[in-house]
């Protein structure tokens, strides 16, 4: 494309398409283009702009990138001050607010705009002639800080307004926040980084800290988003006459407005909204700390005016605090299933967000040191969503005299084995393994949970008893329990507790319980590879990683003998996780437990060939590169592989030969030093052999069209009669499908069960294919095996 006009046209077309995609994603929440397509268009535009710098516009979608760092933030005077809201904490206070509004306006049951109160950072965005020119923090309300460069990196903030009719000057106010998913993902990355990245305390601090970065390139890495909820200065144009219409207008101009915003009549309507949003709170994708009620009529807002620094026309109705103050009565150590020793604060009971909290996690010894939490301290505890309550900080003013800094005990409180902390590890562990009743109980408990092997009715107390009386030492022992064993155990436990069952009825109850449990254990034998891997309780392997391992390798036989570097072939599995998985399978005891599980009838119903996507990672240079040999980069690994195409050469070649082949002397020396370790030589042999085994197990290229539902997006809705939601999801995923939560144009088909609701309507509206349960079952194959390719063609 050399014609300058054609190039300019193409750049303009790409910009329009990308802006539209951003709008659909961030504002309408209804993306119409695949991520990969978006990336491709973005790269094309970047390339065009790089080749033709004269075509770059300041608000091109490529400009959501971090600019160079600055030394400080310039002050910005807000033309209209950024005020705050008065708070209500009870229904009575809301009714009081409504009554005053009614009296002042002389009308009944006013209409309110009702909105979530977002827990982020208030900012003001200034648009002139539709272009984003400046963004500022709230500061003291009169003057804030210029954080324009940071705000430009947030993709949800349009650099240019859409449509037409915007005023010449338009200041949009709203909240920058960090979505929970982004926050979790960030912290997972931070934990895996081994200290390079710092974990964030909560999404709010995450948002605030990110905006206060002097280097916008740092901000650009953070997952931030934005919701508009108010206006500042407006000049040279007209706006709608109500707040709710104004928000709709902002949405049309391309600004994200929270979809939970609504209107309500009177205090009654407001309180209903409060209850409705409160019920959804834990499941929302972002943090909120209440709701806000605003008189909807803007002229009425003007008449009501302000008292001091808060408007009379709005009030924030706060949810019960998720942070509370209480006293630490003791600091215990809890032993988890992998032996991890977690310091836990025992607290004077306190209500946090409507739940009584008596324990809070302190995560690990470093955290206790960092916070300097001591027995007797008064602390702030936080409970957010359904996560375990945690200690946020100590209130130093309230520390009593004569306290002592806490230290991790040297021995396990349960089994007495030494507690050890490996070099560079954050967690200390009990070294007792199977000797340790706590580890045994926790690992069996985890094994039995619903999302693992799903053994109904096996509570923690029974597991403890089964361990205590010697029936279950390892998870595989569950599958050799007999009815008599269970009844025996029950009798012994009753005798120990002095609760001898005297009546015939109690005996019957016990028999029923034992029969049910045996049946549940039996049912759990039929499972999937992903569930099985998750159930093993490998440290660092959660459900998502277990699924990824199952999808990529397909077979337990391959996975259980893989040397650790090859686990890194799975996207998102880093060095640390890969080593943890390798270490688990390297233990003889664990291999033995797996053998026993299989011998006792555990049946992985969904084994398949490894993913053809592995192919690229199995050649010799890739295998060498993943061994983490010092100085051996990917490029040098290629040189090394070319010099030493056979394992024998790799093990024997001397410095002269390596250097002659083009390796820098220090790299050759690093290789020789690494190779000198017997453990490394073994790892090299194992990795090369395992790569060859994997290569052989790959499906041949013709079949590599792979899984029947590869690349398909499916949505489940309603209740299925024969499968739980999780089972249906797992079966579809095993066939390569992506199971999504909401219906869009990208959805390939919707499986609708009994009482399907809005998702079914949406599917009909968009003309997405709809399957009933019978069709799904036919597709999955009555015997649970993958369907033939004809079925596949049938559903496109």
CA–CA separation, 568 vs 566, rounded Å? 5
**719 DSSP β-pair partners:** 754
Nearest to ligand IVH of 212, 327 (CB atom) = 212
Residues 448-467 interacting with ligand IVH (rule: CB under 6 A): none
Q: Which of 27, 45, 48, 85 binds ligand IVH (CB under 6 A)?
A: 85
Cα–Cα nearest to 534, from 524, 546, 548, 526: 546
Q: Which of 57, 84, 511, 706 binds ligand IVH (CB under 6 A)?
A: 84
CA–CA separation, 706 vs 704, rounded Å? 4
Q: Please give the size of the binding site for ligand IVH, defined by CB under 6 A.
A: 15
Nearest to ligand IVH of 138, 383 (CB atom) = 138
- For residue 116 the two structure tokens come to 């979530």
CA–CA separation, 750 vs 752, rounded Å? 6
Contact 568, 614 (CB under 8 A): no
CA–CA separation, 695 vs 612, rounded Å? 9
For residue 177, the minimal CB distance to ligand IVH (Å) is 9
Nearest to ligand IVH of 304, 428 (CB atom) = 304
Residues 110-129 interacting with ligand IVH (rule: CB under 6 A): 115, 117-118, 122
Distance of CA 323 to the CA centre of its chain: 22
Q: Angle at CA 39, nearest 5°, toward 33 and 42?
A: 105
Residues 670-729 interacting with ligand IVH (rule: CB under 6 A): none
Nearest to ligand IVH of 288, 780 (CB atom) = 288
Nearest to ligand IVH of 157, 292 (CB atom) = 292
**359 DSSP β-pair partners:** 346
What Cα–Cα distance (Å) separates residue 400 from each residue in 327, 374, 394?
A: 11, 10, 12
For residue 312, the minimal CB distance to ligand IVH (Å) is 10
For residue 278, the minimal CB distance to ligand IVH (Å) is 15
Residues 304-323 interacting with ligand IVH (rule: CB under 6 A): 311, 314, 316
Residue nearest to ligand IVH as judged by C-beta position: 122
580 binds ligand IVH (CB under 6 A): no
Nearest to ligand IVH of 25, 177 (CB atom) = 177
Nearest to ligand IVH of 314, 448 (CB atom) = 314
- For residue 473 the two structure tokens come to 């030492």
For residue 276, the minimal CB distance to ligand IVH (Å) is 16
For residue 39, the minimal CB distance to ligand IVH (Å) is 32
CA–CA separation, 716 vs 780, rounded Å? 15
For residue 256, the minimal CB distance to ligand IVH (Å) is 12
For residue 492, the minimal CB distance to ligand IVH (Å) is 58
Nearest to ligand IVH of 289, 332 (CB atom) = 289
| Contacts for 454 with CB less than 8 Å, ≥ 6 apart | 448, 524, 527, 531
Nearest to ligand IVH of 316, 580 (CB atom) = 316
Nearest to ligand IVH of 178, 529 (CB atom) = 178
Q: Which of 19, 98, 145, 175 binds ligand IVH (CB under 6 A)?
A: 175
Contact 534, 550 (CB under 8 A): no
| Contacts for 418 with CB less than 8 Å, ≥ 6 apart | 410, 411, 412, 430, 431
Site string for ligand IVH, 44-83 (x = CB under 6 A): ---------------------------------------x
Cα–Cα nearest to 429, from 364, 360, 367, 375: 364
For residue 324, the minimal CB distance to ligand IVH (Å) is 21
Site string for ligand IVH, 126-165 (x = CB under 6 A): ------------x---------------------------
CA–CA separation, 406 vs 410, rounded Å? 12
CA–CA separation, 422 vs 406, rounded Å? 20
DSSP state of 751: E
For residue 310, the minimal CB distance to ligand IVH (Å) is 7
505 classed as catalytic: no
Cα–Cα nearest to 614, from 540, 702, 699: 699
Q: Which of 229, 447, 471, 532 binds ligand IVH (CB under 6 A)?
A: 229
Q: Give the up-direction half-sphere exposure of residue 541: CA atoms within 13 A in the CB hemisphere.
A: 30
Cα–Cα nearest to 625, from 615, 635, 614, 612: 635
For residue 165, the minimal CB distance to ligand IVH (Å) is 24
DSSP state of 420: E
- For residue 475 the two structure tokens come to 């998870």
Q: Strand, coil or helix: what is 718?
A: coil
Residues 621-640 interacting with ligand IVH (rule: CB under 6 A): none
Residues in the chain: 796
Nearest to ligand IVH of 277, 373 (CB atom) = 277
For residue 208, the minimal CB distance to ligand IVH (Å) is 11
CA–CA separation, 39 vs 44, rounded Å? 9
Residues 312-371 interacting with ligand IVH (rule: CB under 6 A): 314, 316
Tokens 């030589």 appear where? 681
Nearest to ligand IVH of 117, 759 (CB atom) = 117
Q: Angle at CA 603, nearest 5°, toward 597 and 607?
A: 120
Q: Which of 27, 55, 230, 668 binds ligand IVH (CB under 6 A)?
A: 230
For residue 84, the minimal CB distance to ligand IVH (Å) is 4
CA–CA separation, 396 vs 759, rounded Å? 52
- For residue 789 the two structure tokens come to 């390719």
**176 DSSP β-pair partners:** 121, 226
Nearest to ligand IVH of 122, 430 (CB atom) = 122
Which of 117, 294, 490, 762 is the catalytic position? 117
Cβ neighbours around 343 below 10 Å, total: 22
Cα–Cα nearest to 130, from 102, 92, 158: 158
DSSP 606-669: T--PPPGGGGGG-SHHHHHHTT--TT--HHHHHHHHHH--SHHHHHH--HHHHHHTT--HHHHH
CA–CA separation, 165 vs 567, rounded Å? 55
For residue 535, the minimal CB distance to ligand IVH (Å) is 42
| Contacts for 250 with CB less than 8 Å, ≥ 6 apart | 172, 228, 257
Site string for ligand IVH, 276-295 (x = CB under 6 A): ----------------x---
Contact 478, 444 (CB under 8 A): yes
Residues that bind ligand IVH (CB under 6 A): 83-85, 115, 117-118, 122, 138, 175, 229-230, 292, 311, 314, 316
Mind telling me the catalytic residues? 117
């Amino acid at each position: 494309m050399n014609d300058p006009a054609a190039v300019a046209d193409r750049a303009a077309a790409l910009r329009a398409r990308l802006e539209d995609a951003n709008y659909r994603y961030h504002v309408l929440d209804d993306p119409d283009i695949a991520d990969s397509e978006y990336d491709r268009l973005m790269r094309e535009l970047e390339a065009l702009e790089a080749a033709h710098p004269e075509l770059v516009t300041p608000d091109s979608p490529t400009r959501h990138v971090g600019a160079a760092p600055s030394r400080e933030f310039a002050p910005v005077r807000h033309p209209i001050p950024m005020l705050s809201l008065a708070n209500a904490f009870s229904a009575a206070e809301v009714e009081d607010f409504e009554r005053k509004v009614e009296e002042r306006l002389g009308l009944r049951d006013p209409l309110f705009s009702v909105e979530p109160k977002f827990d982020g950072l208030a900012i003001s965005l200034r648009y002139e002639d539709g272009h984003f020119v400046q963004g500022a923090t709230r500061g003291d309300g009169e003057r804030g800080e210029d954080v324009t460069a940071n705000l430009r990196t947030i993709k949800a903030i349009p650099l240019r307004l859409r449509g037409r009719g915007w005023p010449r000057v338009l200041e949009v106010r709203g909240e920058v926040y960090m979505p929970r998913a982004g926050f979790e993902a960030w912290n997972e990355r931070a934990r895996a980084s081994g200290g390079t990245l710092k974990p964030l305390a909560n999404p709010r601090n995450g948002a605030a800290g990110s905006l206060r970065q002097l280097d916008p390139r740092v901000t650009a890495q953070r997952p931030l988003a934005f919701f508009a909820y108010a206006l500042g200065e407006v000049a040279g144009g007209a706006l709608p006459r109500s707040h709710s219409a104004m928000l709709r207008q902002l949405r049309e101009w391309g600004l994200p407005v929270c979809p939970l915003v609504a209107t309500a009549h009177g205090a009654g309507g407001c309180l209903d909204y409060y209850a409705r949003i409160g019920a959804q709170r834990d499941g929302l994708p972002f943090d909120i700390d209440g709701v806000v009620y605003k008189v909807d009529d803007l002229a009425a807002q003007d008449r009501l005016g302000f008292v001091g620094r808060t408007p009379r026309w709005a009030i924030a109705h706060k949810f019960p605090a998720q942070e509370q103050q209480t006293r630490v009565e003791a600091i215990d150590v809890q032993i988890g299933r992998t032996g991890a020793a977690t310091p836990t604060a025992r607290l004077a009971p306190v209500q946090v967000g409507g739940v009584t909290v008596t324990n809070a996690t302190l995560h690990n010894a470093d955290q206790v040191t960092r916070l300097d939490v001591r027995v007797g301290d008064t602390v702030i505890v936080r409970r957010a969503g359904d996560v375990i309550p945690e200690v946020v900080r100590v209130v130093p003013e309230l520390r009593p005299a004569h306290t002592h800094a806490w230290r991790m005990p040297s021995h396990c409180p349960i089994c007495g084995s030494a507690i050890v902390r490996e070099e560079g590890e954050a967690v200390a562990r009990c070294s007792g393994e199977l000797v340790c009743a706590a580890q045994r109980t926790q690992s069996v408990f985890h094994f039995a949970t619903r999302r693992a092997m799903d053994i109904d009715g096996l509570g923690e107390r029974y597991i403890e008893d089964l361990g205590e009386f010697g029936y279950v030492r390892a998870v595989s022992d569950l599958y050799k329990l007999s009815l008599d064993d269970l009844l025996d155990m029950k009798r012994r436990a009753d005798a120990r507790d002095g609760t001898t069952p005297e009546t015939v009825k109690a005996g019957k109850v016990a028999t029923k319980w034992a029969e049910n449990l045996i049946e549940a254990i039996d049912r759990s034998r039929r499972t999937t590879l992903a569930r099985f891997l998750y159930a093993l309780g490998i440290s660092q392997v959660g459900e998502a990683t277990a699924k990824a391992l199952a999808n990529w390798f397909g077979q337990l036989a391959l996975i259980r003998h893989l040397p650790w570097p090859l686990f890194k072939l799975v996207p998102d599995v880093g060095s640390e996780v890969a080593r943890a998985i390798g270490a688990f399978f390297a233990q003889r005891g664990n291999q033995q437990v797996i053998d026993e599980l299989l011998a006792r009838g555990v049946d992985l119903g969904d084994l398949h060939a490894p993913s053809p996507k592995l192919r690229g990672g199995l050649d010799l240079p890739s295998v060498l590169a993943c061994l983490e040999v010092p100085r051996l980069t990917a490029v040098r690994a290629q040189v090394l592989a070319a010099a030493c195409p056979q394992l024998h050469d790799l093990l024997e070649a001397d410095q002269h030969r390596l250097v002659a082949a083009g390796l820098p002397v220090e790299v050759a020396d690093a290789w020789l030093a690494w190779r000198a370790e017997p453990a490394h030589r073994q790892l090299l042999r194992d990795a090369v052999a395992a790569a060859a085994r994997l290569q052989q197990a790959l499906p041949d290229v013709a079949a590599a069209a792979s899984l029947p539902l590869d690349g398909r997006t499916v949505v489940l809705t309603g209740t299925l009669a024969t499968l739980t939601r999780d089972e249906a999801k797992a079966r579809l995923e095993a066939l390569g499908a992506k199971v999504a939560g909401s219906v869009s144009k990208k959805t390939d088909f919707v499986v609708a069960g009994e009482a399907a609701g809005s998702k079914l309507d949406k599917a009909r509206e968009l003309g997405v294919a709809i399957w009933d349960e019978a069709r799904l079952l036919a597709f999955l194959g009555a015997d649970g095996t993958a369907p033939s390719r004809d079925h596949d063609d049938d559903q496109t």
